[in-house]
A and B are shown apart, each in its own frame.
Chain A
Amino acid sequence: MSRHFTPKVITANDLMLGDAIWLTEDDRWTRDIAEAELIEDEAHATIRLLFAQAQPEIAVGPYLADAKPGTTGPQPIHFREAFRTRGPSNYAHGKQVEV
């Protein structure tokens, strides 16, 4: 039996704006993690990461981040990834007001 695979999303920083972006199932980049593709298979994750890495004109430093399914779409697991979906906690700046 294959070992348990924690579902993933692919995320990166946008080249021009520098903010967090996520890869969707239909090959777009979104600023809302809920629209991201939740990847539940390790082999597929590798392929999708290669696809993301082949878009250096949009995505800087793409990586796989643990995620879980939520009512509206994928949700982050680690608090670092949660901050990336919102922005800083000291000001209402970033995604919490822009997305």
Chain B
Amino acid sequence: MYVYNDFDEAFVRERVAQFRGQVERRVSGALTEDEFKPLRLMNGLYLQLHAYMLRVAVPYGTLNPVQMRQLAYLAETYDKGYGHFTTRQNIQYNWPKLADVPDMLEALADVGMHAIQTSGNTIRNVTADHFAGAAADEIEDPRPVAELLRQWSTDHPEFQFLPRKFKIAVTGSPTDRAVTKAHDIGLRMVRDASGAPGFEVIVGGGLGRTPMVGKVLREFLPKADLLPYCEAIVSVYNLLGRRDNKYKARIKITVHENGIDTIRSLVEAKFAELRPVFAGFDQQLLTQIEGHFAPPTFRSAPTDSYEAARLANPAFRSWSDTNLSAHKAEGYAIVSISIKKHGATPGDATADQMRVMADLAERFGHGELRISHEQNVILPHVHKSDLAAVYAVLREADLATANIGLVSDIIACPGMDYCALATARSIPVAQDIATRFEELKLEHEVGPLKIKISGCINACGHHHVGHIGILGLDRAGVENYQITLGGDGSEDAAIGKRAGPGFSADEIVPAIERLVLGYLDLRAAPDETFLQTYRRLGIEPFKAILYPAAATEEKANAA
């Protein structure tokens, strides 16, 4: 893992000291709120419905046990004993007091963390495949590149006041687990004809008010050209992006309005100019960074105890069926710890749970943890012979829910329970759907299904790319939920289609139940997933299930 050097350390400490002074000046009245607000946002501090919220960056979702324990300490000392993992691989604290925030930032700096650029019109925390460095299908660990991007973008003098926020995601595998096509820049590692690794560069993806799937700007970019090329993209956007209208300011609109070909020629021209200027220093830095991400020394040991435990314990078998993924090293598995216990708040972990996960990473996981954009925690490197022990500890900590990728593994943004921008709640909807499907005992039969919920059009809950998306709206002072179908956040990214009129808070869970049960009748075979059935049949049969009255009426009219 990357370890701060003296420069990083000094920089982060200085920012904490500056912020401490800014808070003091705000409290004394020397700074107005208008002056203070941009300063607090630069340090990840928002003011929400019930309290301040501090958003802490977890760069490319990677944490070590010491950092995880520090997050637990913050949760306990300055919050209400828990933290919320977000769809951008960050962690948010919902209840800090203004006077405590400088101390929180200081405590983060102690473990090489910060909250810088988790807000504002800057390049935000770079996200990455949460299986990075472990996935069997990976070409290369994308995190050194993500760290290089983090260092380049942090406090980049030219990019502190972009037209709008800017999000970069990177995956080292052709299988896209980082939703790269829904980012301002998406980087997907591929090989060229000679087998050399490089990136497919995708630009102009994004969700929100105007959802768009990113477009390919360069089919193959050699790895060594990454930084000058990204700088070229961001500088072109910085000049061309609209500052007159907040809703048209993201690069997706710039690409849409100017056309990908124009953007491409501008970027290539700028790139030609920038490339010689970089003069190889970025590559030296990258080599240094790569040293920090050397893979752990994997051990080789028999795995028969794992097979035996599977046979002996059905609960363990069920958990290992859903929560494990293929690892690149022989005898190893990737463990996804579900932070989606049925009925609990998606993404919320208590301080005790954080400590348990930190201990597990230390004892069994080569000291590594990841936060996924799906709001779960990953132990990327666990030897199969340790899985039964890991499972037993998780069970004790109420962390052994076997639901990864299933109906109840729902992404939900904080919605109107916390967020000042929300138009409706999302957490209770997620809680109720998960609870209902637990009662029905059906989710394993239903199989892979991604439900994603946002509490407003900003789409932090990624509802557009949910197989089933739910968007909470305010319709004449009442919460109302709109369903979209057929979205997909993978390498085959697609934006979901609106199914029809929205549902009230009372109707939304029964509507989802109808939809999922209806799919079971529609699927051609038990292994045809919801998304596959949708793609085979289109939206109409699902509409008929969601709106039975309208369907009957139509039939009657046709007769």
Q: How far is the CB of B353 from chain A (nearest CB, A)?
A: 15
A91-B80 contact given A17-B97, A57-B29, A78-B477, CB 8 Å threshold: yes
B27 touches A15 (CB 8 A): yes
Residue numbers in B under 8 Å from A20 (CB-CB): 49-50
Residue numbers in A under 8 Å from B29 (CB-CB): 56-57
Residue numbers in B under 8 Å from A15 (CB-CB): 26-27, 98
B428 touches A90 (CB 8 A): yes
A93 touches B95 (CB 8 A): yes
Instruction: Tell me the complex Cα distance, A56–B478, Å.
Output: 32
Interface range for B: 20 to 34
Interface range for A: 20 to 34
Instruction: Tell me the complex Cα distance, A93–B427, Å.
Output: 15
B47 touches A90 (CB 8 A): no
| Residue from A56, A87, A88 whose CB has the most chain B CB atoms within 10 Å | A88
Instruction: Tell me the complex Cα distance, A78–B98, Å.
Output: 28
Q: How far is the CB of A39 from chain B (nearest CB, A)?
A: 20
Other-chain residue from A16, A17, A84 in contact with B27 (beta carbon distance below 8 A): A16
* A73 interface residue per 8 A CB criterion: no
A95 touches B50 (CB 8 A): yes
1/0 contact trace for B63-81 toward A, CB 8 Å? 0000000000000000010
B50 touches A90 (CB 8 A): no
Q: Which of A10-25 contact B (CB under 8 A)?
A: 13, 15-20
A-B contact count (CB 8 A): 72
Instruction: Tell me the complex Cα distance, A95–B4, Å.
Output: 41
B477 touches A18 (CB 8 A): no
A19 touches B50 (CB 8 A): yes
* A71 interface residue per 8 A CB criterion: no
Residue of B with least CB distance to A84: B49
| Residue from B348, B417, B428, B479 whose CB has the most chain A CB atoms within 10 Å | B417
Instruction: Tell me the complex Cα distance, A80–B424, Å.
Output: 8
Residue numbers in B under 8 Å from A18 (CB-CB): 47-48, 50-52, 96-98
Instruction: Tell me the complex Cα distance, A60–B95, Å.
Output: 16
Other-chain residue from B32, B99, B425 in contact with A89 (beta carbon distance below 8 A): B425
Q: Which of A66-91 contact B (CB under 8 A)?
A: 77-80, 83-84, 87-91
B417 touches A83 (CB 8 A): yes
Q: How far is the CB of A25 from chain B (nearest CB, A)?
A: 24
Instruction: Tell me the complex Cα distance, A58–B33, Å.
Output: 11
Residue numbers in A under 8 Å from B479 (CB-CB): 79
1/0 contact trace for B341-372 toward A, CB 8 Å? 00001001000000000000000000000000
Residue numbers in A under 8 Å from B96 (CB-CB): 18
1/0 contact trace for B15-35 toward A, CB 8 Å? 000000000001101001100
A16 touches B99 (CB 8 A): yes
Residue of A with least CB distance to B99: A16
Residue numbers in A under 8 Å from B425 (CB-CB): 89
Residue of B with least CB distance to A94: B50
* B234 interface residue per 8 A CB criterion: no
A16-B50 contact given A56-B29, A83-B417, CB 8 Å threshold: no
A87 touches B50 (CB 8 A): yes
A60 touches B47 (CB 8 A): yes
Q: How far is the CB of B430 from chain A (nearest CB, A)?
A: 9
A residues near B, CB below 8 A?
Answer: 13, 15-20, 56-57, 60-61, 77-80, 83-84, 87-91, 93-95
A–B Cβ pairs within 8 angstroms, 7 of them: A17-B51, A61-B47, A78-B477, A79-B479, A89-B427, A90-B427, A93-B80
Known: A15-B98, A79-B477. 16 other contacts (CB 8 A): A16-B98, A16-B99, A17-B98, A18-B47, A60-B47, A61-B33, A79-B478, A80-B474, A83-B417, A84-B50, A88-B417, A88-B418, A89-B425, A90-B348, A90-B427, A95-B50
